[in-house]
């Protein structure tokens, strides 16, 4: 993919963040050198970069941690020097620790359920299903989860001894805590032609992983993609734009407004994965995940399934202080390609709002299947039978001709075309990837992607009928009418 930046800025937002600026402020006053302290440097950061309004008296406070708290911004935080080391490694996509995933089983035991590849734990010999019974000879048995976790607090270079129980015997391992990387994605084939890619975080490893994993999925025959952003907390803004560059056609990716109300935008080129894509989201999809989803939605490149996202459209930047401590400050607001204000909207609303996670994936597969299936639908006037590549079916009423247009039962034709129909509050919502038709059953009006259409529906014997040519052509089908036999064939 080509370069995407309209303006080169390095800004970040969370739930992961990255703009790291270190300053050493020195000035000569009279005959001695004056070194700026943490409170004074922090005051400059707040004065010149902080996005929201604040009490000017904060700039004269002497405790940097208290200064950040006084901003009243839940996303702005103070970090000690040790906390900064951990924070910056996680921003980059690395963690510090021994590299295990664990849970407390029904017996209250701390059981290893995952060992991160190339981690200190893997190098030492820790295995899945090991029961951790002691850390540095301190028994975990009988401790609460909080107490047990406190024994594994990560510090770079910290050496610990971990005792595990494996197959009835105890073994001890000396482990030195170090950096390790949790993969930014997971992927698999769901069924023939449909790939699945979960994005865990928008970190510095993501783009390489996407390119590698999508290439593998395509080699396995993937012609469509389910992108799972559920629980994705966000990431680095440059990585977000690079990810959009992989999936969006040419144009603006996102807009950024800084604290001084300067506006910037990032653009992407026209080289992208031209695949049918469905995106899954939930309340844990935040920041970069929301902006990615919203910009894809604005470009009609996807259908979004799930529940409302977290609702965070502001960015935080990270700054060093002279002592080695640091702060995270809100420095900008971010808008999607179509200028959706996620912060004001309190999240991205999915096209198909459904909380059942299994149903979310089922609908996603249905939409992908429709997008990649070569389908032919055959039906006839005065005949309730309908035949498609998905099988035979009986319509509740036969197609009719009215005002020169052929009308067919909505549910039957949508099913035959592989579209998804959701009925709610007197309206029928019909979805294929990137397209939505809304039929108001109370007044028979039809909307296409939110815009009122000229066509209308009709009621017939308790069924909603829609104009076949309008309906079919909008969803990408050609409609052929054979007058003598009164038969109709539509193809995608």
The structure tokens listed for 317 are 């930047």
287 annotated active-site = yes
On the CB side of 459, how many CA atoms lie within 13 Å of its CA?
8
Cα separation of the two ends of the chain:
30
Most distant pair of Cα atoms in the chain: their distance = 104
Choosing from 73, 282, 298, 351, the catalytic residue is: 298
**Which of 327, 239, 322 minimizes the C-alpha distance to 287?**
239
Question: What are 163's two structure tokens?
Answer: 């005792």
Going edge to edge, which strands form the sheet with 487-491?
Answer: 391-394, 385-388, 376-380, 487-491, 478-482
User: Is 298 an active-site residue?
Assistant: yes
Q: Which of 119, 312, 388, 457 is catalytic?
A: 312
* Angstrom distance (rounded) from CA 492 to CA 475: 8
Question: CB within 8 A of 254, min separation 6: which ones?
Answer: 237, 240, 241, 244, 265, 266, 291, 295, 334, 335, 336, 337
| Structure-derived torsion over alpha carbons of residues 57, 60, 65, 70, reported in degrees to the nearest 10 | 0
Q: In whole angstroms, give the CA distance from residue 114 to residue 125.
A: 12
- Closest to 17 (Cα-Cα) out of 89, 116, 73: 89
Q: Is 136 a catalytic residue?
A: no
Distance (Å, whole) CA 34 – CA 26: 6
Alpha carbon distance 85, 322 (integer Å): 15
List the one residue out of 264, 270, 271 whose CA is nearest residue 251: 270
The catalytic residue among 287, 295, 388, 415 is 287
Q: Of the candidates 428, 301, 307, 401, which has an alpha carbon nearest to the alpha carbon of residue 359?
A: 307
| Phi-psi label, residue 299: left if phi above 0, alpha if psi -120 to 50, beta otherwise | alpha
Q: Which residues are catalytic?
A: 287, 298, 312
């Amino acid at each position: 993919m080509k370069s995407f930046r309209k303006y080169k800025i390095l800004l970040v937002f969370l739930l992961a963040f990255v703009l790291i600026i270190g300053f050493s402020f020195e000035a000569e006053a009279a005959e001695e050198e004056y070194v700026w302290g943490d409170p004074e440097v922090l005051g400059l950061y707040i004065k010149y970069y902080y996005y929201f309004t604040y009490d000017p008296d904060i700039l004269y406070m002497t405790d940097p941690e208290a200064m950040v708290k006084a901003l009243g911004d839940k996303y702005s935080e103070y970090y000690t020097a040790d906390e900064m080391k951990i924070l910056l490694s996680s921003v980059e996509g690395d963690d510090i620790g021994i590299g295990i995933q664990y849970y407390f089983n029904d017996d209250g035991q701390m059981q290893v359920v995952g060992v991160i590849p190339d981690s200190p734990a893997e190098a030492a010999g820790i295995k899945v299903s090991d029961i951790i019974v002691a850390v540095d000879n301190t028994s975990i048995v009988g401790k609460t989860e909080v107490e047990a976790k406190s024994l594994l607090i990560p510090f770079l270079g910290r050496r610990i001894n971990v005792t595990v129980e494996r197959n009835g015997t105890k073994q001890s391992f000396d482990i030195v805590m170090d950096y390790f990387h949790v993969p930014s994605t997971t992927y698999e084939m769901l069924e023939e032609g449909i790939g699945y890619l979960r994005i865990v975080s928008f970190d510095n490893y993501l783009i390489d992983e996407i390119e590698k994993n999508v290439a593998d999925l395509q080699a396995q025959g993937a012609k469509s993609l389910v992108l799972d952003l559920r629980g994705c907390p966000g990431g680095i803004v440059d990585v977000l734009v690079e990810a959009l560059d992989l999936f969006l056609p040419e144009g603006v990716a996102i807009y950024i407004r800084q604290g001084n109300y300067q506006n910037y935008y990032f653009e992407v080129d026209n080289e992208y994965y031209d695949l049918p894509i469905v995106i899954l989201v939930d309340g844990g999809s935040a920041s970069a995940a929301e902006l990615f989803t919203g910009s894809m939605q604005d470009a009609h490149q996807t259908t979004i399934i799930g529940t409302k996202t977290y609702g965070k459209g502001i960015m935080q930047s990270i700054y060093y202080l002279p002592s080695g401590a640091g702060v995270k400050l809100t420095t900008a607001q971010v808008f999607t390609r179509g200028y959706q204000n996620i912060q004001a909207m309190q999240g991205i609303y999915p096209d198909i709002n459904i909380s059942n996670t299994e149903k979310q994936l089922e609908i996603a597969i249905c939409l992908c299947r429709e997008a990649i299936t070569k389908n032919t639908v055959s039906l006839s006037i005065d005949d309730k039978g309908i035949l498609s590549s998905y099988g035979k079916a009986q319509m509740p009423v036969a197609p009719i001709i009215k005002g020169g247009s052929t009308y067919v039962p909505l549910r039957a034709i949508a099913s035959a075309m592989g579209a998804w129909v959701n009925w709610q509050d007197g309206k029928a919502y019909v979805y294929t990837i990137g397209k939505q038709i809304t039929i108001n059953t109370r007044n028979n009006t039809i909307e296409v992607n939110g815009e009122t259409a000229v066509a209308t529906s009709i009621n017939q014997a308790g069924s909603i009928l829609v104009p076949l040519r309008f309906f079919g052509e909008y969803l990408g089908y050609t409609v052929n009418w054979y007058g003598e036999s009164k038969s109709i064939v539509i193809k995608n």
